[in-house]
C-alpha cells in the first residue's frame, strides 16, 4: 500500500483553502494535507517533515510574489512547488516556472481533475529531475573515465575522472575525433577496426593504449556502447574506461616472479632457457659464437646440512653476488635450482677469453665466505659448452624448434662437462668435447651392469702387502676392490667407486668388502701365516651411513676376526666434515679395538689439528709426495714432515706407491715405518697373495 501524498497548502485566504481541500477530497487522490497561512509557519514545518508537493499562494501576509516563492524554494529545495495564482497574474506564474516552480493552478479554476493532473505531473517531473541529477552525479563522481560522443564519434562530453586521468579539460577536447586519445594515430588500423565493430554491433570492449595530455601513454580497459535513437540509429557513443597501469604492473610482477629465482633474484631455469634460445638465434644471425657455462657448487649438500638451511640460503646468495661480479651486465646469469648456476657468455674473442672468465669465477669463489659466524670455504665445478658460428646460414637453424633443440643440447653438454670437472677432483672447469658424450654413455652402461655385479658375484678383492721398512716383515694388507666384468675384464676401482658412491650402491658393496676382507684375514690367520692387519677402504657415503658401525661389527662377528687386526682407511675430508659425530664414531671403534688409518694423508684439507682429537692409529703418506721424493726437495721436505709428525704422535706411518729403490732409500732414511707399493708387490688376487706369502716365508 502506497503512503498518502503529503501536501502542504500555504494559503491565507480561508475560502480559497477550503476550495482546494474540497478539490482534493473529490479528486480521489490519497492525500495528507497540511495547511498553513504564512511563510514562516511553512518554513518551520519544513524543519519537521518533508512534503511531496507544496501548493503556494503567492500573496501572503509575510511575503508577496516572487519573494514568497523563493523563500519557500530555498527552504524546501527538492520539493515541487505548485503556485496558486489569480487569472490576472498567470504570466508571473509562467516566469516562476522558469525559476523552478513545477506548475501553477489558477484559483478560480481548481477542479478535482485539474488538481489531479497538476499534482501527478509535479511529482513526475520532480522524479525525472532527481534521476537526471543522479545520472549527472554518477557521470561526474565515478572513478571511471567517460567520454560521450556524437554519432560520428566526435567528443561531446567528458567527465572529471577523464580530465583527471588524461589532463584534458572538457573545452579542449570538444569536437575531437575520439581516436585522438589513442596512443596511435587516429586513423590507425586499430581504431578503424574498432569503429567497424561499433557500427556493426553497437558494442566494443578491449585493451587500448591511450595518451595523456603530457604525452605519456597508459594502458586502459575500454568499453564502448552505442546509444540508439528511436529510429534505432546510433545517436551517441559512450566510452567508459579504466586505467590498468597498476594491473599491468602487477601482471608484470607476477611474470617476473615466475621467471626469477626468489632467493637470489637471478633468472630461473625457464628464463635462462628463453635467453639461451634468444642468444642462439642472435648468434646465428650475426654469425658469432656463444658459450654456456654450467656451474655446480662442490659438496654443497654437506655444507647445507651442517650449517642449517637458512645459512645455506645465505651462502647461495653470497655465491650469486660473487658470480654476478664475475659476469658482465650483458651476460645472463641464472640459478637453475639448488646449487646449480648457469651463465651465457657472448661477445668473446676466443676460447681463452672464456677460460679466463671461468678462472676468475673459480678464484672468486675460492675466497672464504662468512656465513653467520662461520667461515666457509667453497669450490665449484664448471662445465663449458660452445656454440660456434657455422658460417653457413642454413634454413633449419632459424627454425625456433631447431633453436630450442640446440639450446637444450648446449646446456646438456655444459652439464656433461661439469660432471667431468667433478670427476677431475672438483674446483676446476672443463670444456665440453664430444667424446665426453661417449663417456657419459659408457658410464650409464657401467652403472646398469654394476647394479647386477653384486648379485652375480663379480666383485673380487686384491691384496697388497704393507711392509716394515727396517725388518721387511709384512705388517698389513690393504684390500683393494676390483670388478671382474665378463667382457671388460678387471675394472679398476677408479672407474667404479665414483658411480657406486653417487648411486649409493657403495653401502651394499662396502658391506661385502668388509665381510670378504675380514674373512680372508681370518683364513690366513687360521692357516698359520704371521698375523697381519687387514686394511679396508671406506667411502664417504658408507662412513656417513647411520648403520656403519653395525656393518663393521657384523663383519667382525660373522668372521670372528679379532677387531685389532682390522684397520679402516678413511680420508681427511671424511673426518673433518662433521667433527663431533666423527669423534663419537671413532671413539666407538677405538673401544672395540678397531684401528683407523688416514689414507692419502697430505692430499686433502690438511687441517692437522684434528689429528690430536681423533683416535687414529696410522697415517698413510700420499703417493703424490712419494713419487718425487728422491728428486724434488719440496716433496721430500713434506714427506719428512709428515713422517716426523706421525712418529711424534705415536702413529704408524705408511708410504704409499713406492716403486723404486731410490724412493725406498729416502723413506728409510726418514724412518718411515712401513711402505706399500709395486716395489714389493702389485695388489694380488687372494690365491696369488697366498703364494706370495708362502714364497716370502720360505726365503
* Binding-site ranges for ligand C2E (CB under 6 A): 464, 480-481, 492-494, 497, 513, 537-539, 569, 599-600, 656-659, 677-678, 683
29 CB contacts (<8 Å, ≥6 apart)?
A: 5, 115, 116, 119
Distance in angstroms between the alpha carbons of the first and the last residue of the chain: 132
Which is nearer to ligand C2E, 261 or 656 (by Cβ)? 656
Per CB under 5 A, contacts with Mg ion among 517-556 are 537
Which is nearer to ligand C2E, 464 or 640 (by Cβ)? 464
Binding partner of 513, given ligand C2E, Mg ion, none, CB within 5-8 angstroms per partner class:
ligand C2E
Which is nearer to ligand C2E, 307 or 460 (by Cβ)? 460
d(CA 68, CA 62): 8
CB of 301 to Mg ion, least distance (A): 25
Phi, psi of 218 (to 5 degrees): -150, 145
Which is nearer to ligand C2E, 66 or 678 (by Cβ)? 678
Which is nearer to ligand C2E, 150 or 659 (by Cβ)? 659
Radius of gyration of the chain (CA): 49
CB of 535 to Mg ion, least distance (A): 6
Phi, psi of 595 (to 5 degrees): -90, 155
Binding partner of 532, given ligand C2E, Mg ion, none, CB within 5-8 angstroms per partner class:
none
Binding partner of 415, given ligand C2E, Mg ion, none, CB within 5-8 angstroms per partner class:
none
Which is nearer to ligand C2E, 275 or 482 (by Cβ)? 482
Binding partner of 677, given Mg ion, ligand C2E, none, CB within 5-8 angstroms per partner class:
ligand C2E
Query: In this structure, what DSSP letter does residue 3 have?
Result: P
Q: State the DSSP string of 342-400.
A: EEEEES-SSHHHHHHHHHHHHHHHHS-EEETTEEE---EEEEEEEE---SS--HHHHSH
Q: Helix, strand, coil proportions of the chain in percent (round to 5)?
A: 50, 25, 25
Which is nearer to ligand C2E, 38 or 485 (by Cβ)? 485
Per CB under 5 A, contacts with Mg ion among 127-156 are none
98 CB contacts (<8 Å, ≥6 apart)?
A: none
**What number of other Cβ atoms are within 10 A of residue 678's Cβ?**
12
CB of 622 to ligand C2E, least distance (A): 8
CB of 432 to Mg ion, least distance (A): 31
Which is nearer to ligand C2E, 146 or 570 (by Cβ)? 570
CB of 406 to ligand C2E, least distance (A): 39
CB of 364 to Mg ion, least distance (A): 32
Which is nearer to Mg ion, 302 or 497 (by Cβ)? 497
Tell me the three state secondary structure of residue 341.
Answer: strand
Whose CB is nearest to ligand C2E? 677
Binding partner of 55, given ligand C2E, Mg ion, none, CB within 5-8 angstroms per partner class:
none
CB of 521 to ligand C2E, least distance (A): 14
Which is nearer to Mg ion, 478 or 577 (by Cβ)? 478
Residue 603 as a binder of Mg ion (CB under 5 A): the answer is no
Per CB under 5 A, contacts with Mg ion among 653-682 are 656
Size of the residue set binding Mg ion (CB under 5 A)? 5
CB of 598 to Mg ion, least distance (A): 10
CB of 418 to ligand C2E, least distance (A): 23
Query: In this structure, what DSSP letter does residue 463 have?
Result: E
CB of 648 to Mg ion, least distance (A): 22
Cell of 83: 503556485
Q: State the DSSP string of 82-95.
A: EEEE-GGGHHHHHH
Query: In this structure, what DSSP letter does residue 488 have?
Result: T
Site string for Mg ion, 555-594 (x = CB under 5 A): --------------x-------------------------
d(CA 108, CA 111): 9
**Residue bearing cell 682390522:** 566
Phi, psi of 435 (to 5 degrees): -70, -15
- Report how far apart, in Å, the C-alpha atoms of 32 and of each of 3, 4, 43 are: 9, 6, 18
Binding partner of 497, given ligand C2E, Mg ion, none, CB within 5-8 angstroms per partner class:
ligand C2E
Binding partner of 492, given ligand C2E, Mg ion, none, CB within 5-8 angstroms per partner class:
ligand C2E
Q: State the DSSP string of 504-547.
A: TTHHHHHHHHHHHHHHHHHHHHHTTPPP-EEEEE--HHHHHSTT
Binding partner of 659, given ligand C2E, Mg ion, none, CB within 5-8 angstroms per partner class:
ligand C2E
**Of the listed pieces 277-285, 524-532, 651-659, 681-689, which binds Mg ion according to CB under 5 A?**
651-659
d(CA 497, CA 542): 11
Which is nearer to ligand C2E, 56 or 616 (by Cβ)? 616
Q: What is the 3-state secondary structure (H, E, C) of 215-284?
A: CCEEEEEEEEEEEECCCCCEEEEEEEEEECHHHHHHHHHHHHHHCECCCCCCECHHHHHHHHHHHHHHHH
CB of 599 to ligand C2E, least distance (A): 5
* Spatial contact of 477 and 688, defined as CB atoms under 8 Å apart: no
- The helix or strand, by DSSP H or E, that contains position 586, with its residue range, turns out to be helix 579-592
Binding partner of 494, given Mg ion, ligand C2E, none, CB within 5-8 angstroms per partner class:
ligand C2E
- Exactly one of 346, 468, 588, 600 binds Mg ion (CB under 5 A); that residue is 600
Cell of 607: 687441517
CB of 682 to ligand C2E, least distance (A): 7
Which residues lie near Mg ion (CB under 5 A)?
A: 537, 569, 599-600, 656
Amino acid at each position: 500500500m502506497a503512503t498518502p501524498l503529503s501536501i502542504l497548502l500555504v494559503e491565507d485566504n480561508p475560502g480559497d483553502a477550503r476550495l482546494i481541500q474540497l478539490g482534493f477530497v473529490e479528486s480521489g487522490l490519497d492525500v495528507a494535507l497540511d495547511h498553513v497561512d504564512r511563510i514562516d509557519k511553512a518554513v518551520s514545518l519544513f524543519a519537521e517533515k518533508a512534503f511531496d508537493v507544496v501548493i503556494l499562494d503567492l500573496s501572503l501576509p509575510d511575503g508577496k510574489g516572487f519573494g514568497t516563492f523563493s523563500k519557500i524554494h530555498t527552504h524546501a529545495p527538492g520539493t515541487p512547488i505548485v503556485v496558486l495564482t489569480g487569472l490576472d497574474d498567470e504570466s508571473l506564474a509562467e516566469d516562476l516556472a522558469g525559476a523552478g516552480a513545477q506548475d501553477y493552478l489558477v484559483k478560480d479554476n481548481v477542479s478535482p481533475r485539474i488538481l489531479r493532473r497538476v499534482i501527478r505531473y509535479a511529482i513526475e517531473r520532480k522524479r525525472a529531475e532527481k534521476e537526471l541529477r543522479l545520472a549527472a552525479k554518477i557521470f561526474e563522481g565515478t572513478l571511471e573515465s567517460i567520454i560521450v560522443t556524437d554519432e560520428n564519434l566526435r567528443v561531446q562530453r567528458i567527465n572529471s575522472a577523464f580530465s583527471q586521468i588524461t589532463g584534458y579539460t572538457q573545452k579542449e577536447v570538444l569536437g575531437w575525433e575520439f581516436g585522438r586519445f589513442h596512443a596511435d594515430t587516429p586513423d590507425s588500423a586499430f581504431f578503424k577496426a574498432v569503429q567497424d565493430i561499433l557500427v556493426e554491433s553497437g558494442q566494443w570492449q578491449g585493451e587500448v593504449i591511450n595518451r595523456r595530455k603530457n604525452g605519456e601513454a597508459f594502458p586502459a580497459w575500454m568499453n564502448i556502447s552505442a546509444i540508439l535513437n528511436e529510429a534505432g540509429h546510433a545517436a551517441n557513443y559512450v566510452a567508459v574506461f579504466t586505467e590498468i597501469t597498476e594491473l599491468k604492473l602487477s601482471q608484470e610482477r607476477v611474470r617476473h616472479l615466475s621467471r626469477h629465482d626468489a632467493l637470489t633474484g637471478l633468472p630461473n631455469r625457464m628464463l635462462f632457457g628463453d635467453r639461451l634460445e634468444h642468444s642462439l638465434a642472435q648468434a646465428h644471425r650475426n654469425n658469432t659464437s656463444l658459450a654456456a657455462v654450467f656451474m655446480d657448487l662442490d659438496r654443497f649438500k654437506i655444507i647445507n646440512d651442517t650449517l642449517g638451511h637458512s645459512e645455506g640460503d645465505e651462502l647461495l646468495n653470497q655465491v650469486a653476488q660473487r658470480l654476478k661480479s664475475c659476469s658482465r651486465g650483458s651476460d645472463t646469469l641464472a640459478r637453475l635450482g639448488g646449487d646449480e648456476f648457469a651463465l651465457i657468455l657472448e661477445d668473446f674473442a676466443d676460447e681463452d677469453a672464456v677460460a679466463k672468465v671461468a678462472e676468475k669465477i673459480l678464484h672468486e669463489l675460492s675466497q672464504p665466505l662468512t656465513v653467520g659466524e662461520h667461515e666457509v670455504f667453497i669450490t665449484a665445478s664448471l662445465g663449458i659448452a660452445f656454440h660456434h658460428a657455422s658460417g653457413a646460414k642454413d634454413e633449419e637453424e632459424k627454425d625456433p624448434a631447431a633453436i630450442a633443440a640446440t639450446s637444450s643440447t648446449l646446456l646438456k653438454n655444459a652439464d656433461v662437462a661439469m660432471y667431468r670437472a667433478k670427476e677431475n677432483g672438483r674446483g676446476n672447469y672443463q670444456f665440453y668435447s664430444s667424446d665426453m658424450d661417449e663417456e657419459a654413455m659408457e658410464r650409464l652402461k657401467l652403472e646398469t651392469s654394476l647394479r647386477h655385479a653384486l648379485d652375480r658375484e663379480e666383485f673380487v678383492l686384491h691384496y697388497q702387502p704393507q711392509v716394515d721398512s727396517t725388518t721387511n716383515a709384512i705388517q698389513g694388507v690393504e684390500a683393494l676392490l676390483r670388478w671382474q666384468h665378463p667382457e671388460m675384464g678387471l675394472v679398476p676401482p677408479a672407474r667404479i667407486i665414483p658411480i657406486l658412491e653417487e648411486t649409493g650402491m657403495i653401502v651394499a658393496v662396502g658391506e661385502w668388502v668388509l665381510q670378504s676382507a675380514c674373512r680372508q684375514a681370518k683364513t690366513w690367520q687360521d692357516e698359520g701365516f704371521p698375523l697381519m692387519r687387514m686394511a679396508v677402504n671406506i667411502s664417504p657415503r658408507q662412513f656417513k651411513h647411520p648403520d656403519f658401525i653395525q656393518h663393521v661389527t657384523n663383519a667382525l662377528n660373522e668372521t670372528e676376526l679379532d677387531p685389532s687386526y682390522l684397520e679402516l682407511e678413511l680420508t681427511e675430508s671424511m673426518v673433518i666434515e662433521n667433527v663431533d659425530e666423527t669423534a663419537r664414531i671413532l671413539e666407538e671403534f677405538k673401544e672395540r679395538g678397531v684401528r683407523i688409518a688416514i689414507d692419502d694423508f697430505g692430499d686433502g684439507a690438511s687441517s692437522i689439528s684434528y689429528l690430536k682429537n681423533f683416535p687414529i692409529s696410522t697415517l698413510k703418506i700420499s703417493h703424490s709426495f712419494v713419487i718425487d721424493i728422491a728428486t724434488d726437495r719440496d716433496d721430500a721436505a713434506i714427506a719428512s714432515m709428515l713422517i716426523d709428525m706421525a712418529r711424534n704422535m705415536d702413529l704408524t706411518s705408511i708410504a704409499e706407491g713406492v716403486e723404486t729403490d731410490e724412493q725406498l732409500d729416502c723413506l728409510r732414511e726418514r724412518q718411515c715405518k712401513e711402505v706399500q707399493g709395486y716395489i714389493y708387490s702389485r695388489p694380488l688376487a687372494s690365491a696369488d697373495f697366498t703364494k706370495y706369502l708362502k714364497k716370502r716365508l720360505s726365503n
